[in-house]
Amino acid sequence: MTPLVQLTRPSRAPKATVACTINGQSVQVSEGTSILAAAATIGVTIPTLCWLETLTPVNACRLCVAEVKGARVLAPACNRAVESGMEILTDSPRVHLTRKLVLELLASSVDLSCAPELTALMDAYGARPERFGPPAPANAAGTKQHAVAGHHAPPDPAFAATTSEPPTVDNELYVRDYAKCVLCYKCVEACGTDHQNTFAIAVAGRGFDAHISTELGAPLPDSACVYCGNCIAVCPTGALMAKREFDLRAEGRWQPEAQHAADTICPYCGVGCTLTLHVQDGEIVKATSPMDNAITMGNLCIKGRFGWRFVQSTTGR
Amino acid sequence: MDTRASSEEQLAVDRVLGAPRSPWDGGARGSHRDYHTASGGAARRAERTMLLPALRALQEHAGWVSEGGLNYVCERLDVPPAEAWGVVTFYALLSTSPRPTRMLHVCDDIGCRQRGGLALCAALRASHGEPAVHEAQGHAVDLAAGQAAWMTSPCLGLCDQAPAALVTDAGPEPVERLLGRVSASAVRDVMAGRALLPDASASPARPQQGSAELVLLARAGTVDPLSLDAYRAAGGYAALARAAQLGPQGVVTELVVSKLAGRGGAAFPTGKKWEAVAAQQATPKYVVCNADESEPGTFKDRVLLTDDPFAIVEAMTIAGFATGATQGYVYIRGEYPLAAERVAQAIEAARRAQLLGANVGGHGFAFDIEVRRGAGAYICGEETALFESIAGRRGEPRNKPPFPVQVGLFGKPTVANNVETLVNVLPIVRHGGAAYASVGSGISTGTRLWCLSGAVQQPGVYETPMTITLAALIARAGGVAPGRTLRAVLLGGAASTFVTPDQLEMPLTFEAARAAGASLGSGVVMVFDDTDDLEDHLLRIAAFFRDESCGQCVPCRVGTVRQEEALHRLKHRRTIGSAADEHALLAEIGAAMKDGSICGLGQTAYAAVESAIKSLGLFSASRA
Amino acid sequence: MFGAGGGTSSYEEVEDTDVVFLWGSNAREAHPIWFHHLLKGIRRHGTRLYVMDPRRTTSAQWADQWLGLRVGSDIALANAMAREIIHAGLANTAFIANATEQFEVYAGAVESYTLEWAEPVTGIPADVIREAAHAFAKADRAMVCWTLGITEHHNAVENVLALINLTLLCGHVGRWGSGCNPLRGQNNVQGGGDMGAIPNKLPGFQDIELDYKARQRFEAAWQCAIPPKAGWNLTQMFHAMERGALSALYVIGENPAQSDADAHRISALLEGLDHLVVQEIFLTKTAQYASVVLPAAASWCEGEGTVTNSERRVQRIRKAVEPPAGARDELAILSDLARRLGHEWGTPSAESVWNEFRTLAPHFAGGMSYARLESLGGIQWPCPDESHPGTQFLHARLWETPRAGRAAPFSIVHHDPPWEARDPEYPFLLTTGRRLESYNTGVQSSSYASPLHRGETLDISPEDATRLGLADGELVRVTSRRGTVDVPARVDASLRANLVFMTLHFPDDVATNLLTIDVADPRSGTAEFKACAVRVEPIGVGAVTLD
């Protein structure tokens, strides 16, 4: 029996293999593999911040830089493809210095208290953000929103400028805390072309005043936001946080170590999204979906992300 | 967000975009067809390339981009409002709050600040209050009174006529003018709403005018820039005719032989670039002329654009022919209104003469050009940021590789060349690459334009072979004033380094500059004498990089802030530890910016600071 | 279809297909994560999207072309496309010859469906129909996906068959990236069917009347006789109540008092029952009519088991939290009930029930052990044995030469407009649908504080609003031949004149189903929720603030 046409997925041409060295060790990977992925094949971990397996690399944080011998500047390991004959160093003095500075520059301007991975890296790289002086007093709400591109007030020599602003709580589902935003672009990508394509948020402003914003800086309920929470799911620093978690943290009752999680299937339509329910004290406190799930890639809609309250509603059950 | 645009705003946008086609792109309801079908998809999303022109139209019409106006543009172009907001707030010349119809932008950058710019700003502060950056920072502007407001500006590219200013009059007939050698009384006239003088870029300093040694500037100031006939009579379009004889491959070969290197700052061999684009299979291909000349102290491209616009049109046409590109864009910085007008006129004239269009000059290939104007963003001079800007996105540079020759404008193979580079193509094609390469030495072939400004007696654009020494070039510009001493030269631009008096015998070749640890950059030769406050200039440079960082990558976004803060601590003797400690901290910030930034802006933001501290000995005192 | 009760394609193929006809579906809001896969196709593969929907929905806004057909003119549109494809010589003759039957009859039946005829009937310009038909036929791979816009009609099955005809005509089935796919509205619509919760099938889609061997297998396993005749679907049950043939009803996890068309009638029928048992997680409107309420655990997070999604993937649900006091696992309730009725089922676990199913429907699910479902992240049926990876797309057999199995028949279906037409007394056509943040009758989705929540509205075109002098929030009275509701109006540019829209999400506030008509498809039992004639009158008591 021969089929009339090819029935299966049109095959893609097999990729050539390229050989390079990473920290002196020979590595062979298929063409197009990033330095990050190539390093992982030999057990070399490169720190990342703005990279996520489900998002297009934006190479904005520069934490993953690696040294390619002969290149003028360092290369972002998350996006730079390995080329044949490349000699790559992932922990040279240049790499170490740039990573340390990236961590210091971030920590001196952003509240990293909800980003334990970053604070651990700071210890590992000997980052001392206090070198830039004491952090400036908190900015008023909307400071970045009202800044004008290409202009800034002269610096105050007594302080290091920060991004701090009071958290924006303008709806019952999530909180935006610009003081914690490292501008990794993950939320913009998740809301935009990589997944949700709602484009409720984008980067606005320029330079140090660049920030994530809705249209005209409007409150979320006046924006295009559809509350899928796919931005929260990818936020690495807690700058975007479900209101429930925000409130529990404020009450000192958020205890990740006391939570357990179970994977089930969202009840709200027939797509079959895996829901990971995070349970604390017998109560669901958060819903996520695994990043490596082929159906969701970590995404959910408003119903899946927030619609589970009914099972623990005290009225009616 | 459903605020509507005024009918005037809609008209202003429609003048750029054409009338809406259906209720689904901002038009009126009523047609039976529209109730039952609508087109969308990729073709519609591609219209986003008109975003910046449409936003500029709103700005020019109303003096700001209102919520209703923004909504209308978003509806017309199917752009999500949050993304459009991200674009509006990226550009310094687009305002998101109401402004008076007349705005005065006074240059306080290094070319102007100590040559009258700061004095003008001080006078304006006294008479009109703080600059109208925004309500919270400046004084409230009484819009009802129709008064003018003022702002400071980074380098306006009019350093040959310092101090410089840009005036914009919003309205149905918008006016934009560059003003040079601005006096206190001229400022009073502007602020009082009086009629504006002609654009100063129409009459640049032309110190070598008529000289036989001129190649690139041969026509500048002597041939009518508005007349195609005059251009042809002066040898124009002979290069295109020759190109047609040589064929695409022949043109590329001549370019390779000429060893022409890019004049925008990176000095990449132009022939190699064209060869790479010609070899690409993907279509369509594009030619982009980078006329976003914004490096402080640079104004040579402005002179070419205004004095010889047909040369740019012809050179881009040859680039299209040689590489198989069918569409060209000239991206002109927003602060060059006359240049944009003249290039647009030249394109129109060439189109009428069928030197652009479906069958260029009867040579059997298609090529056309569109003018795009920037809106106040130095970073858009970085070629990939420029592509993003043309595509209607924030001018954020991309990582390279992939390079533009493979993945450029709209993701397609693209030749991106600086204005001066393109003009060099004409003599190369016309007289052969070998003849061109016989001028100069090594890889530093041909003539080059130099932007002489600062403490020289005859500032202006000078054209010489690259073998000229820095001392000789400065001497040509009259040297420093009698009784003054040359203290330093900023060579190449704010992204380059200071050269000290003992280095003046350096020839201005790529080789010699590299050996001296300097860079020719975009041809800036800004001279400082003993009356200049160099520390003040350095603080301005640091502020410039902070202002112009796009904010995308951490080393540059925060590094430029920390660099400026450290310099201010040094300036105010408020150092953390000793001055040497601050120098060490600056060196670490600088190393991370240089090694870790995505693009040239961050990579060079420490260069001038480093050389000023190391070579000029600035900021050596510790906490008082 | 063609003997299997599920969508033919996988989500991954949506990302890699050339043309998608999204027909009668606002998947952007009703199936948001499936729409992500479609968006990946649009963004990365260059998939061209055509959306057939009377409203220009948020899905239609993503379309290369929106085809805003008149409500209920789906068959007219599909048949006109078919005629155009045949006449343009774009039919896949090799596939038709190999895999189908009745093509000649079909071609004859659609012959009268010219573009000129279809334009006034569907409202869609002839050139647009033509372009869409050509794009579909010429595409290397293309699929049709649909939802309730196709199935909530009195001729639901014929609507589906008209779409399947198009895929057969162009050979867009049985290969990677081509297929016909209903998007399921609940997480186990597909799984319910898989497990035999349809009137004429045993678990695994084995026919209760025709498949003698299967019936025997079940009788042996269950040690009882299975009546060899199909049961009733929901609509037939209500008819049976009406004529007194059905007097006791056991409802599990369904809210017909609010979810079914012509709610006045349904309520009366439920009230008239001798005995009504409702097994529910809430005291729903239906439960309030019950003689006995059995409080149940919410299976999806308080119990174990499996569900099947719209790509036929069987997936595990797991217990994350304990049910509230008194609420019991549904399997335990059923086993206890069986015991009371004299059948000792022991204490089956979800897995043991599933394993029994695997042995009774081996060709279908034999290879799907819990361990494999776990390790593979779910498996797409059929999966006959434990070495089988599952089936990404169905019906590849149709392409084999000689063809394996029986041919896929073209179905002869004709345009049959909605039961109720607009008339001077009821001059508007009301169509119903879903919103992103809400779900069916709102039993679950009303419990969270979504900023998107706004109550029920009558969405009306700007033209009609102007004509009636209506502004946003103004209360109107909506009346059909069956009932009346008062509801705030909302001006919606996605609608055209004479077409109004409501949801079914807020039955406690505005019982939309008092208006809808319960004329149902005889085969599927689905009522024509998508079309009924109504009158809209301003009440003149002022406006409320929307949102």
Do B349 and B290 lie in a common domain?
A: yes
Q: Is B221 left (phi over 0), alpha (psi -120 to 50) or beta?
A: left
Q: For residues C252 and C337, what is the distance between their CA atoms, to the nearest angstrom? A: 13
Nearest of C130, C119, C159, C139 to residue C65 by alpha carbon: C130
Minimal Cα distance from C122: which residue of B? Answer: B36
Superfamily of domain A255-317: ADC-like domains (2.20.25.90)
CATH number at residue B172: 3.40.30.10
The answer to whether the CB atoms of C321 and A311 lie below 8 A apart is yes
Residue where a domain stops, chosen among B529, B551, B586: B529
Contact criterion met (CB below 8 Å) for B37 and C65: yes
Q: How distant is the Cα of C129 from the closest Cα of chain B, in angstroms?
A: 10
Q: For residues C450 and C13, what is the distance between their CA atoms, to the nearest angstrom? A: 33
Residue where a domain stops, chosen among B513, B529, B545: B529
Stretches where chain A sits below pLDDT 50 are none
Please state, in angstroms and as integers, the Cα–Cα distance from residue C327 to each residue in A116, A179, A308, C330, following that order. Answer: 40, 45, 17, 9
Contact criterion met (CB below 8 Å) for B288 and B329: yes
Apex CA B575: angle with CA B570 and CA B576, to 5°? 145
Asked whether the CA dihedral B498, B504, B508, B510 is positive or negative, the reply is: negative
CB contacts under 8 A, A 121-140 vs B, are 131-133
**Does B40 reach chain A within 8 Å, measured CB to CB?**
no
The answer to whether the CB atoms of C187 and A303 lie below 8 A apart is no
β-pairing, C428-433 vs C499-503, is parallel
Do B233 and B286 lie in a common domain?
A: yes
Contact criterion met (CB below 8 Å) for B496 and B514: no
Tokens encoding B389: 């800007």
Do B333 and B254 lie in a common domain?
A: yes
Interface residue of B73, B87, B89 to substitute, partner A, most A CBs within 10 Å: B89
Task: Determine if the peptide bond prior to C402 is cis (ω within 30°).
Answer: yes
CATH number at residue B496: 3.10.20.600
Find the DSSP H helices in B458-533: 470-476, 510-515
Q: How distant is the Cα of A43 from the closest Cα of chain C, in angstroms?
A: 24
Do B479 and B563 lie in a common domain?
A: no
- The model's confidence at residue C436, banded by pLDDT at 50, 70 and 90, is confident
Nearest of C339, C384, C333, C376 to residue C358 by alpha carbon: C384
Chain A contact set for B574 (CB, 8 A): 157-158
Q: What is the pLDDT of residue B138?
A: 41
Q: How many CA atoms lie within 13 A of B544 on its CB side?
A: 31
Find the DSSP H helices in B162-259: 184-191, 228-233, 238-258
**Does B406 reach chain A within 8 Å, measured CB to CB?**
no
Q: What is the pLDDT of residue B136?
A: 43
Q: For residues B495 and C298, what is the distance between their CA atoms, to the nearest angstrom? A: 65
Mean pLDDT of B152-170: 97
Do B282 and B429 lie in a common domain?
A: yes
Do B501 and B379 lie in a common domain?
A: no
For B589, the closest of A81, A101, A204 (CB atoms) is A101
Chain A contact set for C300 (CB, 8 A): 264-267
Q: For residues B261 and B442, what is the distance between their CA atoms, to the nearest angstrom? A: 11
In the 3-class helix/strand/coil scheme, how is C421-433 assigned residue by residue?
CCCCCCCEEEEEE
- The model's confidence at residue B249, banded by pLDDT at 50, 70 and 90, is very high
Tokens encoding C176: 């990677």
List the chains bordering chain A where 3 or more Cβ pairs fall under 8 Å: B, C
Do B349 and B266 lie in a common domain?
A: yes
* Domain extents in chain A: 17-92, 255-317
Q: How distant is the Cα of C423 from the closest Cα of chain A, in angstroms?
A: 36
Phi, psi of A261 (to 5 degrees): -130, 145
Nearest of C508, C481, C476, C479 to residue C491 by alpha carbon: C476
Nearest of B433, B430, B369 to residue B235 by alpha carbon: B430
**Does A60 reach chain B within 8 Å, measured CB to CB?**
yes
For B547, the closest of A81, A151, A200 (CB atoms) is A151
Query: Domains plus CATH for chain C?
Result: 11-182 (3.40.228.10), 189-380 (3.40.50.740), 428-543 (2.40.40.20)
The answer to whether the CB atoms of B81 and A80 lie below 8 A apart is no
The answer to whether the CB atoms of B29 and C66 lie below 8 A apart is no
Q: What is the pLDDT of residue B618?
A: 95
**Does A204 reach chain B within 8 Å, measured CB to CB?**
yes
Q: pLDDT digits over B352-395, tens only?
A: 999 999 999 999 999 999 999 999 999 999 999 999 999 999 99
Chain B contact set for A207 (CB, 8 A): 546-551, 557, 560
Helix (H, G, I), strand (E, B) or coil at B267: coil
Interface residue of A271, A277, A308 to substitute, partner C, most C CBs within 10 Å: A271
Q: How distant is the Cα of B43 from the closest Cα of chain C, in angstroms?
A: 8
Q: For residues A272 and A150, what is the distance between their CA atoms, to the nearest angstrom? A: 48
Residue B232 lies in a domain: yes
Residue with tokens 């420490």: B606
Q: How distant is the Cα of B410 from the closest Cα of chain A, in angstroms?
A: 16
Q: How distant is the Cα of C165 from the closest Cα of chain A, in angstroms?
A: 19
CB contacts under 8 A, A 221-250 vs B, are 222-224
Do B187 and B70 lie in a common domain?
A: no
Q: For residues B541 and B453, what is the distance between their CA atoms, to the nearest angstrom? A: 16
For B80, the closest of A105, A147, A224 (CB atoms) is A224
pLDDT of residue B37 exceeding 60: yes
Nearest of B113, B157, B92 to residue B549 by alpha carbon: B92
Contact criterion met (CB below 8 Å) for C447 and C503: no
Q: What is the pLDDT of residue A309?
A: 82
Do B112 and B158 lie in a common domain?
A: yes
CATH number at residue B244: 3.40.50.11540
Rg (CA), chain B: 24
Q: What is the pLDDT of residue A312?
A: 76
- How many structural domains comprise chain B? 5
pLDDT of residue C2 exceeding 70: no
Tokens encoding C273: 């029952």
β-pairing, B414-418 vs B440-441, is unpaired
Q: For residues C323 and A83, what is the distance between their CA atoms, to the nearest angstrom? A: 56
The distance of Cα C324 from the centroid of its chain, to the nearest Å, equals: 31
Interface residue of C20, C65, C464 to substitute, partner B, most B CBs within 10 Å: C65
Q: How much of chain A, in percent, has pLDDT values that exceed 70?
A: 98
Minimal Cα distance from A272: which residue of C? Answer: C309
Q: For residues A212 and A233, what is the distance between their CA atoms, to the nearest angstrom? A: 16
Q: What is the pLDDT of residue B146?
A: 62
**Does A149 reach chain B within 8 Å, measured CB to CB?**
yes
The H or E element spanning position A174 is: strand A174-176
Do B425 and B457 lie in a common domain?
A: no
Q: How many CA atoms lie within 13 A of C142 on its CB side?
A: 27
Contact criterion met (CB below 8 Å) for B9 and B58: yes
Rg (CA), chain C: 24
CATH of A17-92, one of 3.30.465.10, 3.30.43.10, 3.40.50.300, 3.10.20.740: 3.10.20.740
Q: For residues B76 and B72, what is the distance between their CA atoms, to the nearest angstrom? A: 6
Minimal Cα distance from B546: which residue of A? Answer: A207
The answer to whether the CB atoms of C436 and A306 lie below 8 A apart is no
Q: Is B20 left (phi over 0), alpha (psi -120 to 50) or beta?
A: beta
In the 3-class helix/strand/coil scheme, how is C186-248 assigned residue by residue?
CCCHHHHHHCCCCCCEECCCEECCCCHHHHHHHHHHHCCCCCCCCCCCHHHHHHHHHCCCCCE
Q: Greater confidence, B306 or B142?
A: B306
Q: How distant is the Cα of B163 from the closest Cα of chain A, in angstroms?
A: 19
Give C45's DSSP letter.
I
Contact criterion met (CB below 8 Å) for B221 and B206: yes
Apex CA C245: angle with CA C240 and CA C250, to 5°? 75
Do B359 and B489 lie in a common domain?
A: no
**Does B543 reach chain A within 8 Å, measured CB to CB?**
yes
Q: What is the pLDDT of residue C407?
A: 95
The residues pairing with B454 across neighbouring beta strands, listed in sequence order, are B527
Q: How distant is the Cα of A306 from the closest Cα of chain B, in angstroms?
A: 24
Contact criterion met (CB below 8 Å) for C513 and C145: no
Q: pLDDT digits over C117-170, tens only?
A: 999 999 999 999 999 999 999 999 999 999 999 999 999 999 999 999 999 999
Chain B contact set for C128 (CB, 8 A): 36-37
Kindly report the number of other CB atoms within 10 A of residue B229's CB atom. Answer: 11
Q: pLDDT digits over C336-372, tens only?
A: 999 999 999 999 999 999 999 999 999 999 999 999 9
For B1, the closest of A108, A149, A216 (CB atoms) is A216
pLDDT of residue B137 exceeding 80: no
Minimal Cα distance from B87: which residue of A? Answer: A204
Residue B619 lies in a domain: no
The answer to whether the CB atoms of B551 and A207 lie below 8 A apart is yes
Tokens encoding A313: 């509603």
Please state, in angstroms and as integers, the Cα–Cα distance from residue C544 to each residue in B299, C210, C300, C434, C540, following that order. Answer: 61, 58, 37, 22, 12
pLDDT of residue C421 exceeding 90: yes
pLDDT of residue C109 exceeding 50: yes
Contact criterion met (CB below 8 Å) for C543 and C475: yes
The answer to whether the CB atoms of B548 and A182 lie below 8 A apart is no
Q: For residues A308 and A268, what is the distance between their CA atoms, to the nearest angstrom? A: 10
- The model's confidence at residue C6, banded by pLDDT at 50, 70 and 90, is confident
For A9, the closest of C176, C302, C451 (CB atoms) is C176
Asked whether the CA dihedral C301, C302, C304, C305 is positive or negative, the reply is: negative
Helix (H, G, I), strand (E, B) or coil at C489: strand
Do B55 and B123 lie in a common domain?
A: no
In the 3-class helix/strand/coil scheme, how is B350-403 assigned residue by residue?
HHHCCCCECCHHHCCCCEEEEEEECCCCHHHHCHHHHHHHHCCCCCCCCCCCCC
Residue B296 lies in a domain: yes
Rg (CA), chain A: 22
- The domain of B168 spans 102-202
Can you tell me the ipTM of this complex? 0.96
Q: How distant is the Cα of A265 from the closest Cα of chain C, in angstroms?
A: 5
Task: Determine if the peptide bond prior to B401 is cis (ω within 30°).
Answer: yes
**Does B568 reach chain A within 8 Å, measured CB to CB?**
yes
Please state, in angstroms and as integers, the Cα–Cα distance from residue B157 to each residue in B112, B454, B543, following that order. Answer: 10, 13, 18
Chain B contact set for A158 (CB, 8 A): 574
Q: What is the pLDDT of residue C540?
A: 79
Cβ contacts below 8 Å, chain A against chain C, sum to: 203
Tokens encoding B253: 């070969």
